A and B are shown apart, each in its own frame.
Chain A
């Protein structure tokens, strides 16, 4: 079979990679949930493998799309959501395996699956034709900001799990799920490291935004600085021990919710130039 034909068959629509990723994440979610609820045999490697398969599909989509448009594929909302899901998965695969947090996948997988569904429902505007001149500052700004979002999302997930575990401990009647989720000290460490990682990436993303060379939208900047300051405050509180782990976990969730609002707000502004 001719290679070009095979290629055209496989790459007939690069969105198929996103569908494939969605299958991987959905299977991982279903298996994790089943294991957790029923208490049956849990194979973390299977969850990890399914999430890895989803990650590979996402990567193939981004490589393919990037190759077609000659730039980082974050040119519309569909691509942006896929890139955000990819970032979360990347950080999960790095952090999850390092800190024995494979069960973080229990929440990460459905979260990324939802992002992929959302992406597939979002309009995928026609691709840019021809290779446009690439603005490296814009590329840096966008990609770093989104990967930072992935880290903050996982910090929120770790925070959510911490609050669940903490609440279980306080009631003195922890259920069977409590013993299958990571210990609270492990979640505290993961939460803290993810916040630091996200903060550093977000700082680079925010800083590079000032060098793009386009007209600055100060409302976007104000929202972004607010988010940056909030995460900075959380980390300062953690560093100075003025806030306990429960507060840090709660604020991680609040800050990520705010970040999502900013995300929506920026999209709304972009889609409605009249409100500028």
Chain B
């Protein structure tokens, strides 16, 4: 850990602060009260600009966090005071969910956020884009200055480096993405694959979307309720077929995703074997997301058939998450170098206007 960054100019102390709340400190019902939609960001930034003592400001608001990165005279402002000043509607007990980070703590936190290390799913990359967008909004609204510009540009550089030089983003951590990864290791390209989705529940929808996002074009949806099949087909750009007809399409299938509410297996070894003879040894990837299972586990013994159920996919996702958590230690070490670099930059470029005064932060 490096020394804290703190800039003092006699009694007018200035530093970088982060005021916020996240899924780590607040439940969703609290987070949603503080969340700022993208459409409301311009107004929020305009209001932020008028806050007393503020030099620069930026708001990062996602479903998992709302954070204000500011520079100015907030040394004596605890988090509740800052939030009260901005929102003016704090409820009793809210203060327990709010945090304030400053100086090195704030810099380290932002670098970790941009790298996906503070995300609910460690290593996810969506947050990088969200932070970048937040910065673009603030820069557009001219609420950032030299310090925040440098800080956020550095955070993008750090985020990229963490992603490219460590294994933090490697592998998939959701059942749908794991299934798609496996499909790509079987068929190489998904654009020529014929995919059948049996059942139109939430799990089917997520998996179908995952396939679609990786280039799958031939998606067929079948469900006992044709209307629901049609609705899912419309979302995924696929084609709905009647439940009585799905077996007719089976011969040309490459991937089958099944998650019906059937009380027993609807695809058994005896039922599948005759189909395989007509498939000319093309591989068949079967994904059973139903509970109870739709596909007899014995079909995995057949040549060219690869069956994965919910448990096996979940286990793979958890293993990836575990690897990512272990890799996070390497990322923290990498980030620490950049925190120190940033501190050196501050000390080198700012002394004239803000002579550095290092103090020990509480809890640092």
B185 x A179 contact (CB < 8 A): yes
Q: Which of B170, B188, B308 contacts A186 (CB 8 A)?
A: B188
Given A173-B315, A241-B281, A246-B303, A183 contacting B187 (CB threshold 8 A) = yes
Q: Which residue of B lies closest to A38 (CB)?
A: B167
CB distance from B334 to the nearest CB of A (A): 14
Residues in B whose Cβ lies below 8 Å from that of A5: none
Given A41-B165, A244-B303, A185 contacting B283 (CB threshold 8 A) = yes
* B267 CB within 8 Å of chain A: no
A176 to B306, CA, bound (A): 18
A183 x B170 contact (CB < 8 A): no
Per-residue contact bits, chain B 301-318, to A (CB 8 Å; 1 contact, 0 not)? 001101110001001100
CB distance from A154 to the nearest CB of B (A): 19
Q: Which of B165, B185, B308, B323 contacts A184 (CB 8 A)?
A: B185
Task: Identify the interface centre among B181, B186, B280: most chain A CB within 10 Å of its CB.
Answer: B186
A179 x B171 contact (CB < 8 A): yes
A225 to B252, CA, bound (A): 39
* A43 CB within 8 Å of chain B: no
A245 to B185, CA, bound (A): 15
Residues in A whose Cβ lies below 8 Å from that of B307: 172
A39 x B185 contact (CB < 8 A): no
8 A-B pairs in the complex with CB atoms less than 8 angstroms apart: A174-B316, A179-B181, A183-B186, A184-B186, A184-B283, A243-B281, A244-B281, A246-B303
A140 to B278, CA, bound (A): 43
B170 x A39 contact (CB < 8 A): yes
A169 to B164, CA, bound (A): 27
CB distance from A230 to the nearest CB of B (A): 20
* A57 CB within 8 Å of chain B: no
B186 x A173 contact (CB < 8 A): no
Residues in A whose Cβ lies below 8 Å from that of B281: 241, 243-245
Per-residue contact bits, chain A 161-192, to B (CB 8 Å; 1 contact, 0 not)? 00001000110111010110011111000000
Residues in A whose Cβ lies below 8 Å from that of B188: 182-183, 185-186
Residues in B whose Cβ lies below 8 Å from that of A178: 185
Interface size on A, residues (CB 8 A): 21
Per-residue contact bits, chain A 235-256, to B (CB 8 Å; 1 contact, 0 not)? 0000001011110000000000
Residues of chain A having any CB pair with chain B under 8 Å: 39, 41, 165, 169-170, 172-174, 176, 178-179, 182-186, 241, 243-246
A172 to B297, CA, bound (A): 12
Q: Which residue of B lies closest to A168 (CB)?
A: B185
A56 to B303, CA, bound (A): 42
A41 to B281, CA, bound (A): 35
Contact-residue bracket for chain B: 20 to 34
Task: Identify the interface centre among B171, B185, B280, B312: most chain A CB within 10 Å of its CB.
Answer: B185
Beyond A39-B170, A169-B186, A179-B181, 18 additional pairs, beta carbon < 8 A? A41-B164, A169-B182, A170-B300, A170-B306, A172-B312, A173-B316, A174-B182, A174-B316, A176-B171, A182-B188, A183-B186, A184-B186, A184-B283, A185-B283, A244-B281, A244-B304, A245-B283, A246-B303
Residues in A whose Cβ lies below 8 Å from that of B300: 170, 172
Task: Identify the interface centre among A39, A165, A172, A246: most chain B CB within 10 Å of its CB.
Answer: A172
A174 to B138, CA, bound (A): 45
A178 to B185, CA, bound (A): 8
Q: Which residue of A lies closest to B187 (CB)?
A: A185
Given A172-B312, A243-B281, A183 contacting B184 (CB threshold 8 A) = yes
Q: Which 8 A-B pairs have the closest CB atoms?
A: A244-B281, A183-B188, A172-B312, A241-B280, A169-B306, A183-B185, A186-B188, A244-B303
Residues in B whose Cβ lies below 8 Å from that of A179: 171, 181, 185
A183 to B193, CA, bound (A): 14
Per-residue contact bits, chain B 274-288, to A (CB 8 Å; 1 contact, 0 not)? 000000110100000
Q: Which residue of B lies closest to A99 (CB)?
A: B188
A173 to B313, CA, bound (A): 9
A246 x B304 contact (CB < 8 A): yes
Residues in B whose Cβ lies below 8 Å from that of A183: 184-188
